[in-house]
Every structure is written in structure tokens, then in C-alpha cells.
Amino acid sequence: MISVVFLGAGNVATHLYKAFQNAEKVEVVQWYNRTKSSISSYGNTVAITDDLQDLKSADIYILAVSDDSIAKLSRKLPFENRLVAHTSGSVNIHDLDKKNQRAVFYPLQTFSKDANVDFSQVPICIQALEKPNNKLLKDLAKAINSKSYKINTEQRQTLHLSAVFINNFVNQLYRIAHEITDAEHIEFDILKPLITETAKKVQNISPYMAQTGPAKRNDKKTIQRHLKQLESEKHKKIYKLLTSSIQDTHGTTTKPITKKESTK
């Protein structure tokens, strides 16, 4: 049985807590947050506290807090030589205070408060400065049916950067598409099968091979028509940038789209 203390009350902490609560080989012995009211609803299932001095003994302390808070919180921990792990994709493992054994337990997934997460589909990137701790991290991931990968800081930061493109930036494009359809009173739901199929395709073929559309075909008339349809200058800039990127990738680059051309 692996005993865990959580520190933090964001989306990652909440989803990991729920997963560990359902795991046979994990016991969450305590949950800390500086604002106790944020975790008060869980008080009947786990011991909660807002006082670092009251932290219980555990096999691992998981800091699921904002990136900017990790180093500061790790320095405040009132003990030494215990295993402390953060869950960030971008923070260096050495940002954790060296008075304790340092590790990373990074679930590479998007977490939203009200969305259920199947951890069997969530890869866990693990790292430990002390090699014996890798087994505990691996066992912890296995307990929630997640596959673990030994990833160093540079690799994890690269994955996090890639994830921003895949998730955050793509989601912003969804938002722009939503604005465009809303403006014409069109249901965004009509586009959802396309979203699903686009994500599905890259499970079997490379993103390069999966690319379609007017930019790849160098369909100038369609591109100009789209630019004319767009009312927002910000949206036009994004469209031009992505069109140019696709054309560069697939060797269909033509002369740059000018402001005059985009309004024809």
C-alpha cells in the first residue's frame, strides 16, 4: 500500500485524488490546501488541513499546485528526506527543495473540473533523482491503470510545449470556429464529428499525411474567399499564419497574402 499526501486543490489534484481513492493499493492519508474551504467537501473521505505543520507521514507528498508555487511550497515543508513530487509539465525537478528526495509525477492530459478522466488513457511521465524512487512512482501510476514513462526534465518540457500546441492552441481554434458559427446562427455541434475524425486520423497516420484542405492544395480562390468572410483582423492573421505554415510544410508556398488581396 502506497500512502499519499496531496498538497493543492486544483484540477490535477482533484482528479488524481479521485483516482487514488478508487485504487486498491493506494491510500490518501491527507489533503492539504492553504484555503481549507476549497477541499472541505472531501472532509468526510480524507483528513484535510490548511496547516503544513500538521502534515502526516506518507510514502510520497504530491505537490499539485501552480507552477509558480512549487518551489516556494517545497521550501516550506516542515520535514526532510521524504519523497516529494510535483505534477508540472514545465517545472524543473531541481526547483523542488533539495532537503527532500525530489521527483516528478506528471499526468500528460487536459483536466477540467467537471469532465471525467479515464486514467487508463493518461500517460504518466515520471522522474526521480534517487533511482530507487522510480519503482514507487511506477507502482503509483500502475495503481490507477496508467502507463508510466521515465522522462527527464528536458524531455518533459518538450512534451509540455508540444501539448500546448495540441491542446491549448487547438482548443482556441475551436473557440474561434465557435464564434464564426455563432455569428451566423449555426450550431457548433455540426462540426463535432469533424473534430472527432481529425483526432482519430492521427492515431493511425502521421499529422503530415493527415493534412488536407485549401492551404495544402494551394486553392487560392478558396483562401481569398475565407479571408474575405472573416471580419476579425485577429482571425485573419491566424488564418494567414496557419495557411503559410501548411504551405511551407507541403511545398505549396506562394507569394505572401497581402492585406489588399485578403479584402478582394
Q: How far apart are the first and last CA of the chain?
A: 68
Is the domain of 142 the same as that of 168? Answer: no
- Report the alpha-carbon distance of residue 67 to residue 153 in Å, rounded: 14
At residue 36, the pLDDT reads 87
Q: Is 26 exposed, middle or buried (0-12, 13-18, 19+ CB in 10 A)?
A: buried
Is the domain of 127 the same as that of 204? Answer: no
Q: Which of 143, 153, 21 minimizes the C-alpha distance to 88?
A: 153
Is the domain of 189 the same as that of 112? Answer: no
pTM: 0.84
Read off the CATH number of the domain in which 46 is found.
3.40.50.720
Nearest 5°: the CA angle 14, 17, 20 is: 155
How many independent structural domains does the chain possess? 2
Low-confidence ranges of the chain (pLDDT < 50): 257, 260-264
- Domain containing 42: what range? 2-151
The string of DSSP codes covering 223-260 is: HHHHHHH---HHHHHHHHHHHHHHHHHHT---SPPPHH
User: From the CA atom positions of the chain, what is the Rg in Å?
Assistant: 23
At residue 114, the pLDDT reads 76
At residue 112, the pLDDT reads 81
At residue 261, the pLDDT reads 45
Is the domain of 123 the same as that of 189? Answer: no
Q: Of 99, 134, 151, which closes a domain?
A: 151
At residue 110, the pLDDT reads 85
